Amino acid sequence: MYDNGIEPALGVWWKPAHRAEKVWIAIAFAWCMVLFAMMPLWHLKGGQNPTGIRHRVEPADFEARTNEFIEEYRVGEEAGLPIVEPPPGAEVYLVGKMWQWTPILRLQEGATYRLHMSSLDVNHGFNLYPFNINFQVIPGYDYALDVTPTEAGEFRIICNEFCGIGHHVMVGRVEVVPATEGAARAGGAE
């Protein structure tokens, strides 16, 4: 008797499996273990992990901290937004609110910064163009990630979480200057 899907299974159906089924299950199981192992392994050896440092924060407190940060490292203004150039290793703050990213960041290639992100109103999405790096930005949470720009150039921060009618104009800017130029600036400032 062959079983099918629409008729009741009669008698004891707990029987040894088809040989091909056994082989496939063994392969699939081994693959599942590879899939599982890759994530902890990347935490140990890989350069891109979404863990970071995470805290609850009152939106007003986060805004105040961002304003202090802007005042401390402000070097100019563009499109009504402050341009901020923090030194390598600095704590960097980025605020998302309807519908802008503040401030404009000027970073140095190859240097590492601790980037804090949060929102003052609703959920926003951090998308770094053209590299396609994405993080969720949630009001009430400070998400701090150590980032190292690996390439100099012009970058954009595109909001990719729906945040209301002006969602599509929510574009921010990041500029990464070459390592040599950055070092010269730092030297000049001293």
Partner 1 sequence: MNAFRTCPTTGLSIHRDADKLIKAHAVAATVSLLIGGIAAFLVLLTRWQAIHLLDAVWFYRILTVHGMSMLIFFIIFFEMAVLLFAGPILLNSRVPAPKVAWGGFGLMVAGAVLVEWTMWTGKADVLFTSYVPLKATPNFYLGVILFAVGALVTVGIFFASLVVAKREKTYEGSVPLVTFGAITAGIIAVITLLHGAAIYIPTWLWSMGMMNVDPQIYRLVWWGLGHSSQQINVAAMVSIWYLLATLTVGGVVLNQKISRTAFVLYILFISMASAHHLLVDPGMGAAWKVWNTSYFMYMAVLASMIHGFTVPAGIELGMRLRGYSQGVFGWLRKAPWGDPGFSSMIFSIVVFGFVGGITGVTFGTEQINIIAHNSLRIPGHFHATVVSGTAMAFMGLTYYVIPLIFRKRIAFFKLARIQPYLFAIGMLIFSLSMTFAGSFGVPRRHWDISFSGAPFDVQYSPAVDIVMAVMAIGGLMGILGGAIYILVTVWSVFFGKPLPAGEEEKYADSIPQGLITKPWTQIPDTDRDPETPWKIGPVPGTAVLVAVFFLAFVTYYFANWALLSFVWKVG
Q: Under the criterion CB under 8 A, does residue 171 sit at the interface with partner 1? A: yes
CA distance 99 to 93: 17
Can you tell me whether residue 115 is helix, strand or coil?
A: strand
Q: How far is the CB of 184 from partner 1 (least distance, A)?
A: 23
Q: By CB under 8 A, tell whether 60 contacts partner 1.
A: no
Report the DSSP beta bridge partners of residue 103.
Answer: none
Residue closer to partner 1 (CB basis): 51 or 188: 51
Q: What is the DSSP letter of 29?
A: H
Give the CA diameter of the chain.
88
Considering only 65, 88, 123, 179, the residue that binds partner 1 (CB under 8 A) is: 123
Cβ neighbour number for residue 55 with a 10 Å cutoff: 12
**Least distance between partner 1 and beta carbon 3 (Å):** 4
38 binds partner 1 (CB under 8 A): yes
**122/173 Cα distance (integer angstroms):** 20
Contact with partner 1 (CB under 8 A) among 94, 100, 177, 182: 100
CA distances from 54 to 25, 31, 122 (A): 39, 32, 18
Rounded to the nearest whole angstrom, what is the least distance from the CB of residue 74 to partner 1 in the complex? Answer: 17
Nearest CB to partner 1, comparing residues 94 and 158: 158
Among 22-30, 61-69, 85-93, 179-187, which window interacts with partner 1 (CB under 8 A)? 22-30
**With binding defined as CB under 8 A, does residue 189 bind partner 1?**
no
Neighbours of 152 (CB within 10 A): 18
- 135 touches partner 1 (CB under 8 A): yes
Rounded to whole angstroms, the Cα distance separating 128 from 159 reads: 9
Q: Residue written as tokens 């008797």?
A: 1
CB of 68 to partner 1, least distance (A): 21
Is 54 a binder of partner 1 (CB under 8 A)?
yes
48 binds partner 1 (CB under 8 A): yes
